[in-house]
Amino acid sequence: MEKYKEIERSIIKTYRKEIWSKFIKAVKNYQLIQENDKIMVCISGGKDSFLMAKCIQELQRHGRVPFEAHYVVMDPGYNSYNRDFIEDNADLLNVPIKIFESNIFDVVSTVDKSPCYLCAKMRRGYLYSKAQELGCNKIALGHHFDDVIETILLSMFYGSEIKTMMPKLHSENFEGLELIRPLYLVKEESIISWRKHNDLTFINCACRFTEGCFLINDGTSKRKEVKELIKTMKQVNPNVDQNIFKALDNVNLDCILGTKKDKVNHSFLEDYEK
């Protein structure tokens, strides 16, 4: 059996509970993929986006809902080693990628503060533009369960608000385009286990600015800090990650001081006497 077929089989069989079932649950529960969708599957070269691509391939091959998928890699200025690595993995996994160029790394290299914020913003803009060019109505990103719960805590600790990544959202600047996150319910530990099971190696950020990104006063990464905090809390309560996630689906508005809707703040006092 060819290597890519073994990898595909592992998703459906070996990791059916941890990956495939959760991928399908997210697609159905959040209505992420619908009939005749044209989806641009965004591949960064990391484990998450390549797994997402394989899951979408399997759904396209065996699902009941017909849709198109375009597997796209944006090269923001990778060195030749990382670009070759991405192309080699795409061949190994039998993912038919299309690569388009951008000068994001060159632009970001001139910025002293928050290069990762600017890089992420520019990437998103380039991806939406490419999706429009391809005639797609959706772009798929590889964010997973851990990204979701970490973002909840990051927004509380550093943003003074309660919010997280949504499983899908409409683009504010590109009319008719929607962003979806099919791995929304898949835990990172399952993705890492799948990678090791298949003896796969992927790039991480591949960015020369990573060491300076998202730093707080003592030089540590905010997201890494929150990841470690959740890991520590799970030693006392193994369900803490699930509880954080469920909290966002179980908000008691009777016990919230204030909310925000369509960028307008609302106080609990507005309905207090009703």
Q: Has residue 10 been placed in a domain?
A: yes
The whole-number pLDDT of residue 28 equals 98
Q: Has residue 77 been placed in a domain?
A: yes
Q: Look up the domain containing 114 and give its range.
A: 3-219
Q: Has residue 215 been placed in a domain?
A: yes
CATH number of the domain enclosing 92? 3.40.50.620
Asked if pLDDT for residue 239 goes beyond 60, the answer is: yes
Of 64, 65, 90, 61, whose CA–CA distance to 75 is shortest?
90
Number of Cβ within a 10 Å radius of residue 130: 19
Q: Has residue 244 been placed in a domain?
A: no
Q: Has residue 21 been placed in a domain?
A: yes
Mean of pLDDT over the chain: 89
Number of domains in the chain: 1
DSSP 112-132: -S-HHHHHHHHHHHHHHHHHH
Q: Has residue 235 been placed in a domain?
A: no
For 39-68, what is the mean pLDDT?
96
pLDDT in tens, 178-192: 999 999 999 999 999
Q: Has residue 265 been placed in a domain?
A: no
- Extract the tokens encoding 165: 């990544």
141 — phi, psi (to 5°)? -115, 155
pLDDT in tens, 91-126: 999 999 999 987 777 666 666 666 666 677 777 888
Q: Which residue has the higher pLDDT, 250 or 217?
A: 250
The whole-number pLDDT of residue 82 equals 87
